[in-house]
Amino acid sequence: AQSVAQPEDQVNVAEGNPLTVKCTYSVSGNPYLFWYVQYPNRGLQFLLKYITGDNLVKGSYGFEAEFNKSQTSFHLKKPSALVSDSALYFCAVREGRNAGNNRKLIWGLGTSLAVNP
């Protein structure tokens, strides 16, 4: 069965320190992987994606993520956290190109990131 795990409900980091938000997945075939961010009472904003190619992908607001096929992980990272990065982060996966028109995403439970000044 397809699934996404975000093992940490909450991550706390000090401003200026590097941050990591973890994500592991289970999906058949080659996955498409995504990270989204949600601010309070707002919809989700797309941060970055891995489709194919270089395992390290860079996205919005200085975030990046590394696709690790052997560990089935796609951890989100940022070298230097900002207080404004405090939000809810979601990892999502769907089957890759062979999925046809199935664009349904499988979502992690979310990780609340708190960056302390």
Partner 1 sequence: GAVVSQHPSWVICKSGTSVKIECRSLDFQATTMFWYRQFPKQSLMLMATSNEGSKATYEQGVEKDKFLINHASLTLSTLTVTSAHPEDSSFYICSAVPQLNTEAFFGQGTRLTVV
Per CB under 8 A, residues contacting partner 1 are: 32, 34, 36, 41-46, 49, 51, 88, 90, 101, 103-105, 107-110, 112
Asked if residue 10 lies in contact with residue 112, where contact means CB atoms within 8 angstroms, the answer is yes
Please state the closest distance from residue 18 (CB atom) to partner 1, in A.
25
Please state the closest distance from residue 23 (CB atom) to partner 1, in A.
12
- b vs e for 42-57, b when ≥16 Cβ sit within 10 Å of the residue's Cβ? eebeebbbbeeeeeeb
Pick 55 or 80: Cβ nearer partner 1: 55
Q: How far apart are CA 58 and CA 114, in angstroms?
A: 21
Pick 69 or 104: Cβ nearer partner 1: 104
Please state the closest distance from residue 109 (CB atom) to partner 1, in A.
4
Backbone angles phi, psi at 35, to 5 degrees: -125, 135
Pick 16 or 34: Cβ nearer partner 1: 34
